[in-house]
Amino acid sequence: MKIKTINTSAYTDQQPGTSGLRKKVAAFQQPHYLENFVQSIFQVASEVKGGLLILGGDGRFYNKQAIQIILKIAAANGVAHVMLGRDGILSTPAVSHLIRKYKAAGGIILSASHNPGGVNGDFGIKFNIANGGPAPTSFTDKVFEKSKNISRYQIADSADIVLSELASYHINEMKIEVIDSVTDYADLMQELFDFEKIKQLFKSGILTMCFDAMHAVTGPYAKEIFERRLSANADALINCQPLEDFAGGHPDPNLSHAKELVAKMNAAQGSPGFGAASDGDGDRNMILGQHFFVNPSDSLAIMTANAHLLPGYKAGICGVARSLPTSRAVDKVAEQLGIHCYETPTGWKFFGNLLDDKRITLCGEESFGSGSDHIREKDGIWAVLFWLNLIAIKQQSVEEITRAHWKQYGRHYYTRHDYEAIDTDDANGLMQNLRDKSTTLSGTSISGLTITLADDFSYTDPVDNSITTNQGVRIIFDDESRIVFRLSGTGTEGATLRVYIENYVTDSAGHDDDTQTALSKLIDIANTLSEIKSRCKREHPDVIT
């Protein structure tokens, strides 16, 4: 088949964010827009020439069209072999596992994660390197530079392949395998967790569950694992058919967007004992008990404290890492276990070096992401299985496990306030004002609390000594409470300002307060210091988690 060289004009807005390039679908549908970016990836990722590439996505609108384009550009750029999920479906954790299992040169994931889908929704693309993790900033910076100067790309002149059948194809010399999206990943989960012990929970009737796939990628994985392999209750799965627009919903597993699940778990009668949800591409999770929500930061701490009880982690853990905005609950556990706890910038790629260097076993972020050294991405289904296995071992409810943890380690009241789609200049002005203030805040007092540290967080990677700056303004008080301000890198419209607030309470008599009430004083301090209302013209956050 003929390889065509297409002349093109560069776009100036293809700079990847925290998790790849995310834009509105309409942006990717512009002439040559996707092609330019994919060609730029292949020009930087020279290792994929003659190698294996893993390809798939979360099934959102434009996923299938993009896959056909990527396959043809891959063939024209000398990729030898592509493994592709059936119907173009592969969860982000599954891609990471396939890269590692089959020693691929890398992978391309088509997803905008928890962002809305559909014709008017969002689309995204990112490259994962040979360790299975997201490409580092050094790689994405090079891709961006290529994209700004691109003048032509190469593409094979071939027909589209059939995505719905398990089969092998060729485009020129490049082999394409359409594979089962689920089996390899499900087999890995069965190696890490005691499926028989979990299965007995369901067969005995001790536990019922509800898992909400939010019409996103984890539906097929949930059916295979929870329904077929674990024999969960017949009504355990909801919204498990992946849809291009996620049924008009927002595939973000939090209390605001997983409304059907939350209603079931909070029902006056007959609510399941365990609830969970995952997001658009399957790398996030929310854990619920009956009338009880587990904060993702607490979830990471509880996992760290109990990992040694589970089959895949019986040898113990060598260390743990959390992102800057994630609460310091896991720090308390690490201190007691005598292991190191690393504080990194937001973005799973920052955990990669620590995992590869065997400095950590577990890691997590407050944005409903947790994972371990089994892959190099956060992993929603993995987290759900971790909790199910823990329940089976402890024979306790979600709430009982969490409250016992608080009693031993103290409770970190924690919340995140999101101000979405605000004017970018206003958001940047707010952050610059905070950076300027931070140089003089240490040692001062506000509302009876003394500020012990105020800075703009920077991170020096202990493995390669790379330095990442301007990652968020943090303010720490003398009672261990903390406020962090940062701009999100995952939005596609305007700017999203995120404010993270936490307060540490050791006395178990103070562990029953409403979170927003318990943090009301710090919320007022955050609003005062940042001047959110005047600078961003917002009276209240759009989302509170």
Q: Which of 351, 381, 409 is the last residue of a domain?
A: 409
Residue of 183, 191, 232 whose CA lies nearest to 392: 232
Banded pLDDT at 538 (limits 50, 70, 90): confident
Same domain membership, residue 455 and residue 314: no
**Residue 176 shares a structural domain with residue 192:** no
Are both 402 and 317 inside the same structural domain? yes
Q: What does the alpha-carbon distance between residue 394 and residue 527 come to, in Å, rounded to a whole number?
A: 41
pLDDT tens figures, 509-520: 999 999 999 999
Q: What is the DSSP letter of 94?
A: H
- What's the pLDDT band for 32 if we cut at 50, 70, 90? very high
Q: Are residues 155 and 195 in the same domain?
A: no
Whether residues 299 and 325 fall in one domain: yes
153-183 CB burial, b ≥16 within 10 A, e <16: bbbbebeebebeeeeebebeebebebbebbe
Would you tell me how many other CB atoms lie within 10 Å of the CB of residue 254?
22
Pairing mode of beta strands 319-323, 362-365 = parallel
89 shares its domain with 157: yes
Q: Which domain holds residue 65?
A: 3-180
Active-site entry in 19, 96, 111, 113: 113
Q: Do 163 and 209 have their domain in common?
A: no
Looking up tokens 């009737």 gives 205
pLDDT band at 493 (very low <50, low <70, confident <90, very high): low
Number of domains in the chain: 3
Q: Does the annotation count 111 as an active-site position?
A: no
Separate counts of helices (H) and strands (E) for the chain: 18, 27
If you average pLDDT over residues 357-378, what whole number do you get? 97
Pair 503, 491 in one domain: yes
Task: Give me the DSSP letters along 365-408.
Answer: ETTTEEEETTSSS--HHHHHHHHHHHHHHHT--HHHHHHHHHHH
Burial class (CB in 10 A: 0-12, 13-18, 19+), 215: buried
Is residue 490 scored above 80 in pLDDT? Answer: no
The whole-model pTM stands at 0.94
Do residues 415 and 397 both lie within one domain? no
CATH number at residue 422: 3.30.310.50
Residue 537: per-residue pLDDT: 84
The CA dihedral of 25, 345, 142, 42, to the nearest 10 degrees, is -60
- Give the domain CATH number at 344: 3.40.120.10
405 and 416 fall within a common domain? no
Nearest CA to 55 out of 5, 116, 113, 105 is that of: 105
Torsion of CA 344, 348, 351, 355, to 10 degrees: 160
Last residue of one domain, picked from the residues 141, 159, 180: 180
Query: Does the structure show a pLDDT above 90 at 492?
Result: no
What confidence tens digit (pLDDT) does each residue in 441-463 have? 999 999 999 999 999 999 999 99
Of 409, 433, 466, which one is at a domain's C-terminal end? 409
Say if residue 237 is in the same domain as residue 207: yes
Measure the CA–CA gap between 459 and 468, rounded to whole angstroms.
Answer: 5
Following CA atoms 113, 114, 119, 120 in sequence, which dihedral angle do they give, to the nearest 10 degrees?
-120
> What distance in Å separates the CA atoms of residue 342 and residue 360, rounded to the nearest whole number?
8
Let me know whether 36 and 75 are in one domain. yes
